[in-house]
Structure 1
Amino acid sequence: MVNIRDLDPGASPLDYFGAELRRLRESAGLSQQQLGEIVFCTGSLIGQIETARKIPTPEFTQRVDAALNTDGALSRLLKLVLRSQLPSWFQPYAELEAKATHIYTFQAQLVHGLLQTEDYARAVLGVLDQDRLDERVAARLARQRILDRDNPPLFWVVLSEAVLYQEIGGSEVMRNQLARLLAFREREWVQIQVLPFAAGTHAGLLGSFTLLRFDDDPDVVYDEDYGTGQMAADSHEVRHRALRYDHLQAAAMSVDESAELIARVMEERYGEQP
């Protein structure tokens, strides 16, 4: 069935995307079914996206841009669409994260969002709340594209050893997640250290946090909290948090030792030789 629901393009970025897709498709003289055949999907999916019932993926959007000869217009719009799916309180941080040249983070309980697999992210975001889960997962995965840029930020991660043992989504999801962490060893701009249980009392006991650094703007510290987060650019607070991070890096295992531990946990706890 053809989707012809009227849209208010000003209602949301997703509605605007749908209206633009419909306008461009009709200008090309194509039906939903015809466009679907060109970009290897169903006409129904085209209709769902045009009526803002489903969020487009980057791959879908790139194929449609090519098919409709839009010069990348929809792909540029998609960035706004995906960002709009993030919680309103998180959007200012996501904008700064995308501009940062250096990202330093300590994670006490979970793999950082920039490193999560789709299944791991789905398990985390779906706890007690399945509403618009596909859209929220897509928005989280879209943030990871900053690591694929030609000039990515330096991303340094210290994970508590507990993160490796906290089973999120089941053993297969965890096995794939730990394999993904190991795969990042091939990227010189991503460094992962594990803070072992043997470290005992450490500088991250108050919780997870992230430091963002920029070429021409003040550093920012972001503290994670239950269901929200707080940012601060106060120089004293940033220095204090930077000192904590230095202590965490010093107490953590080396990058190579951390990879060995991740591989061992992956094999022994989740049942597969990496």
Structure 2
Amino acid sequence: MVHVQSLDPTASPLDYYGWELRRQREAHGLKQSQLGEIIFCTGSLVGQIETTKKVPTRDFSERVDAALGTDGLFSRLIGLVLRSQLPTWFQPYAEMEAKAAYISTYQAQLVYGLLQTEEYARAVLGVDHHSEPDDMVAARMERQRVLHRDQPPALWVILSEGALLLQIGGRDVMRRQLGHLLGFLDSPWVNIQVLPFARGQHTGMMGTFTLLRFDKDPDLFYTDGYDQGHMTANPQVIKERSVGYARLQASALSPEDSAALIARVMEERYGERLRTEEPGLA
């Protein structure tokens, strides 16, 4: 007799997704293999998702909705599921980020998560998450959907020049990542500035931080830590960091000059001609 693993749908978003997938599949009188054939995957994958051994993707969810006529149920659930794969300490920030009307961030070393390409994100997350990079990358890509809403947040990103020079994932990955940043040059809601090394000391020297503003809720300040982040709505902190961010904006290159610098670094540091060895170098 085949043992069917029981799930507690209240345990987590992933458990609820698996429980609901099994319930809907059985209600339609389908075996796992039969559903797999309909949505172009293996029955084994369906089983792994039903038993939470595998995290579903958005594509899988959309295909299940189409196959079972579930009116977008799984497409709505997948956002919660992927967000639950983020580190526990980061989830509150991700939830508030998704609700923000205005996001302003200073990034000291890396491209901001909402602007990362998938391969850049994989290289970053693979450093500390060797066993589950696919789930972490999917969660990060899911966060980026906020930029494609009908009413996206206004996003202002200041990157240290170091974020352009720190080679993440190799030259090809960096070239495509910088090209991705240049793609936002004409966006009405995304502004990118680069803070060059030549500016010297500045108000972001304590490290990366982000300010979230909302239509109705109080502003929030967030800063990264090694094993957890810190988020506060303390008015004094918000005031001080808002002034600090305004100073960073004044010190950074304009969006147009920043794009020119990004393009120059992309060509000179990560361009095709760098693939050949220079004479005299081992």
Mapped partners of 2:16, 2:193: distance in 1 = 42
Q: Counterpart of 2:222?
A: 222
Q: Counterpart of 1:144?
A: 144
| 2:83 maps to amino acid | R
Q: Counterpart of 2:194?
A: 194
SS for the counterpart of 1:111 is coil
Mapped partners of 1:140, 1:227: distance in 2 = 17
Instruction: Report how far residue 4 of structure 1 moved.
Output: 4.9
* Identity over aligned pairs, percent: 63
8 A contact 1:3–1:44 mirrored in 2: no
Mapped partners of 2:164, 2:207: distance in 1 = 16
8 A contact 1:202–1:248 mirrored in 2: yes
Q: Counterpart of 2:13?
A: 13
Q: Could you list the per-position Cα deviations for residues 21-56 of structure 1 after superposition, in whole angstroms to 9, with x for gaps in the alignment?
A: 111112112222222222222222222211211111
| 2:94 maps to amino acid | A
Indicate the RMSD between aligned Cα atoms, in angstroms.
1.7
Cα distance 1:122–1:47, how it changes in 2: closer, same or farther (>3 A)? same
Moved more, 208-217 or 176-185: 176-185
TM-score calculated relative to the size of structure 1:
0.94
8 A contact 1:14–1:81 mirrored in 2: yes
Question: Displaced runs of 4+ in structure 1, greater than 4 A?
Answer: none
Moved more, 189-198 or 133-142: 133-142
SS for the counterpart of 2:248 is helix
8 A contact 1:65–1:71 mirrored in 2: yes
Mapped partners of 1:82, 1:128: distance in 2 = 18
Q: Counterpart of 1:117?
A: 117
Q: How does 1:205-216 map to 2 (within 5 A)?
A: 205-216=205-216
Instruction: Report how far residue 272 of structure 1 moved.
Output: 4.1
SS for the counterpart of 1:202 is coil
Mapped partners of 1:108, 1:73: distance in 2 = 39
| 1:249 maps to amino acid | Q
Mapped partners of 1:206, 1:20: distance in 2 = 46
Q: Counterpart of 1:127?
A: 127
Is 1:252–2:262 an aligned residue pair?
no
8 A contact 1:3–1:51 mirrored in 2: no
Mapped partners of 1:170, 1:163: distance in 2 = 14
SS for the counterpart of 2:60 is helix
| 2:25 maps to amino acid | R
Max radius of gyration: which structure? Answer: 2
Structure 2: 5+ residue runs without aligned partners?
274-282
Q: Counterpart of 2:74?
A: 74
Moved more, 30-39 or 248-257: 30-39
SS for the counterpart of 1:11 is coil
Instruction: Report how far residue 98 of structure 1 moved.
Output: 0.7
Instruction: Report how far residue 3 of structure 1 moved.
Output: 9.8
Q: How many residue pairs align between the two structures?
A: 272
8 A contact 1:36–1:46 mirrored in 2: yes
8 A contact 1:152–1:189 mirrored in 2: yes
Mapped partners of 1:4, 1:44: distance in 2 = 14
8 A contact 1:220–1:231 mirrored in 2: yes
Mapped partners of 1:79, 1:157: distance in 2 = 24
